[in-house]
Amino acid sequence: MFLPLTGSWKNDVITFITIIYCWETYIKVRQYKKICNTKIPKQLEKYVDEEKLAKTKAYQKDNYKFAFVTDALDIIETILMFQYNLLPLFWGYSEKILIKFGYSSEYEILHSLIFIGLFKVFNDIINLPQDLYNTFVIESRHGFNNTTLKLYIIDEIKSNLLLIAFGGPLISIFLKIIQKTGDKFYVYVWIFMAIVQLLALIIYPNFIQPLFNKFTPLEEGELKTRIEEIAKSVNYPLKKLFVVDNSKRNSHSNAYLFGLGKNKRIVLYDTLLKQVNNEEICSILGHELGHWYYSHNIRLLFLGEIQSFVIFYIFSCVINYTPLYQSFGFVEQPILVGFLLFSFIFSPVDSLLEFIMNVITRSLERQADSFAAVNLKRGEQLITGLIKIHTENLSTLIVDPLYSAWNYSHPPLLERIDHIKKLQEGMNKKKE
């Protein structure tokens, strides 16, 4: 029933990730050339001068050069990991640690936790130089990094402690469910993960994110009044307005909505308040309110749950398939390892699903832009706000079509501007 294309699941995985690497490198090269040859688009002539264009090019070129190197290192690391059977090696080391502390190999869940811990430490060590270079060299060179080494280390410690506190128990429950529920485990695992996902929507913004950032109520004034008026005009049940101190880490900007039921909140990055004016902030929030108005997050959540169910079901079909484990050098068939190996062979489908999701989310982004431009009549302010955010963040101004189609969850800036302007022209014709 489950036959590898080349006679070995390991070889199939290596072949596929190599193909994907070559494809993604090809479209990145196309995009890099597009950046090098970029001139100021007509739509942006009022907002972008040659100096700003030069800064944008320099930042983007540095990022793509860095990506070329890290992508190459990543695929070399992955292929070497498979070729030299490092995963079975980590499993063996974790068993030795387990025995050293007086436990036998029958304690599969504890064994699995040690294994995943060793694997994470290994990956963190390998990826640390890349992360440090990106944060303290590239981002600092272009004026975006505000993170100190002390803050960086504190963030890493907090992240790892949270991972131990939440990740360990969740993995344990995940494995225990599979052990106890038999062939239909995929149903129970899916229900468990759906509950975890819903709880995360409550726990993360309210309890975890405040461990890293300070959330301050937006001060009384014109901006708060305007935001409350817009929220009220579309019946958005706004309860609280916050400003988050993103500037202590970097100068990038954003805004988002969160909250379940009638307990809705809006968060503005402090950097956003410095980059755009009040009317443009309201227009950007109008876009975010469009996502809420059309229930985009619920739709995406629903699609995600369908995808999760299918993944767990397919995993249930291969969990006991011995040749899969043997192909990657395993003698035993531990559940966690099985799921990890399954994720490798599922990666072709996963890449296709990610592409499809990008297509869907781009259509939802256009609909949210339409809501701000048509329903709230804030098209012009949305255009200027988007342009300022893109230029202040030195974001790509012109995007290669293939690169955009494969990677972007949002339409490129120029596409969004043209879309909004067409909507405005249609509105003006109706008035006439």
The token pair at 204 is: 């993360």
Instruction: Say which residue the tokens 């990740």 belong to.
Output: 167
Residue 176: C-alpha distances to residues 166, 168, 185, 320 (Å): 16, 12, 10, 16
d(CA 43, CA 415): 10
pTM beyond 0.75, yes or no: yes
What are the tens digits of pLDDT across the range 199-231? Answer: 998 898 889 999 999 999 999 999 999 999 999
Contacts of 282 (CB under 8 A, 6+ apart): 223, 226, 227, 230, 378, 381
Query: What is the pLDDT at residue 6?
Result: 57
Q: If pLDDT is split at 50, 70 and 90, which confidence band does 348 have?
A: confident
d(CA 193, CA 180): 16
Query: What is the pLDDT at residue 363?
Result: 96
What are the tens digits of pLDDT across the range 379-427? Answer: 999 999 999 999 999 999 889 999 999 999 999 999 999 999 999 888 8
d(CA 324, CA 2): 9
What are the tens digits of pLDDT across the range 234-275? Answer: 999 999 999 999 899 888 888 888 887 777 889 999 999 999
- Active site residue ranges: 288, 369
What are the tens digits of pLDDT across the range 35-69? Answer: 999 899 988 988 889 999 999 999 999 999 999 99
pLDDT exceeds 60 at position 291: yes
pLDDT exceeds 80 at position 105: no
Q: If pLDDT is split at 50, 70 and 90, which confidence band does 187 have?
A: very high
The token pair at 178 is: 């599979």
238-244 and 215-217 beta bridge pairing: antiparallel
Q: Which domains does the chain have, with CATH numbers?
A: 215-273 (3.30.2010.10)
